[in-house]
Amino acid sequence: MDKRQRLLAAIRGEPVDRPPVALWRHFPVDDQRPEDLAAATLEWQTQYDWDFVKVTPASSFCLRDWGFTDEWRGNPEGTREGNGHLIRLPDDWLALKPLDPEAGALGAQLEALRLIHAGLRGATPFIQTIFSPLTQARKLVGPELLPVHLRQHPEPLRYALEVITETTVRFIEAARRTGIDGIFYAMQFASARVFSRAEYEAFGEPYDRRVLQAAQGLWLNVVHLHGDDVFFDLAAQYPAPVINWHDQETPPSLAEGQRRFAGAVCGGLRQWETMAYGTPEQVRAEARAARAQTGDRRFILGTGCVTPIIAPRANLRAARESVG
């Protein structure tokens, strides 16, 4: 099977020659210029031959054109640190206006996608990271104030979520023209540790569905649930063929997730304890356990989130080789 055939078979629950596998990571400093991000991403793929490429820009790529700034300070996950939050008072939300996806940081990311598409030459599917509107709002205001604004000042926040959603939809429409095969839809606040289910259904789900609707017709959309105690059953109803969550740290297990989701589950490896701090033997053992849970059907081997940039090469190689 080629990579597309293997992934489609996994999504449909058909037999595969081997389970698909993919890991992804940040590329700090390289993620500041489209040429550098594309080169780093292509080098990562050349080195490990994953079944799909998840393009991972700096998490702020979608916020910079609103004035958000950040810098690289050595986080082992590869993420950049923000220089304060743009939104402080509820009425600050009203200053946000829809962005042009072809300009500024968004336009630079489109250029990176064009370069990656050219470099992959159709041999490997690739998908673009998209943060949910509520996740983007959290980055603009901070995790402490977001629940306060949602509960006490809902209307300015709703206005901002509309603007963020419109901008995100426009970006996806532009990204489709670069040749992407799907989006990696990151939801960082679909969690009972942050909001009630009713709050998320009011301030998260409607915008999630509008963004995912913009990605319909792409065949490799992945929904990613970030964190603990996630609203798995809510996300499992979203129109995407693959779901990814921290299955080794929070319920459900891979096997239970398979029972509650119609598409393919992606996970099995712990990003820190195993990929960063473990041994190749531990990587292979977790991969075997994940394969046993899923029977190699509707399963993609991966981590629950980004692979730390400090993960040893031997562990990365063990993950790739564990599926044959």
pLDDT interval class at 321 (50, 70, 90): very high
What is the structure's pLDDT at 279? 98
pLDDT given at position 57: 98
- Name the average pLDDT for the chain: 98
Residue 174 is encoded by which pair of tokens?
């532009």
**pLDDT band at 86; cut points 50, 70, 90:** very high
> What letter does residue 306 receive in the DSSP assignment?
P
| First-last CA distance in the chain | 13
Question: pLDDT tier at 58 (50, 70, 90 boundaries)?
Answer: very high
* Burial (CB count within 10 angstroms: exposed 0-12, middle 13-18, buried 19+), residue 129: buried
97: confidence class by pLDDT, cuts 50, 70, 90: very high
What was the pLDDT predicted at 60?
Answer: 97
Q: Using 50, 70 and 90 to split pLDDT, how confident is the model at 38?
A: very high
Q: What pLDDT is stored for residue 64 in this prediction?
A: 98
State the pLDDT confidence band at 168, using cuts at 50, 70 and 90.
very high
Percent of the chain with pLDDT over 70: 100
Determine how β-strand 81-82 pairs with β-strand 70-71. antiparallel
Q: Rounded distance, CA 87 to CA 93, Å?
A: 7
Check residue 94 and give its pLDDT.
Answer: 98
Domain boundaries in the chain? 3-321
Residue 201 contacts by C-beta under 8 Å, 6 or more apart in sequence? 234
CA dihedral 134, 66, 164, 159 (to 10 degrees): 90
Task: Quote the pLDDT of residue 257.
Answer: 98
pLDDT band at 147 (very low <50, low <70, confident <90, very high): very high
pLDDT at res. 62: 98
Question: Looking at the domain covering 3-321, what would its CATH class be?
Answer: alpha beta
CB contact at 8 A, 24 and 56? yes
The amino acid at residue 12 is R
In this prediction the pTM is: 0.98
pLDDT in tens, 199-234: 999 999 999 999 999 999 999 999 999 999 999 999
Rounded Cα distance between 64 and 66, Å, is 5
- For 232-280, the pLDDT digits (tens) are 999 999 999 999 999 999 999 999 999 999 999 999 999 999 999 999 9
Radius of gyration of the chain (CA): 19
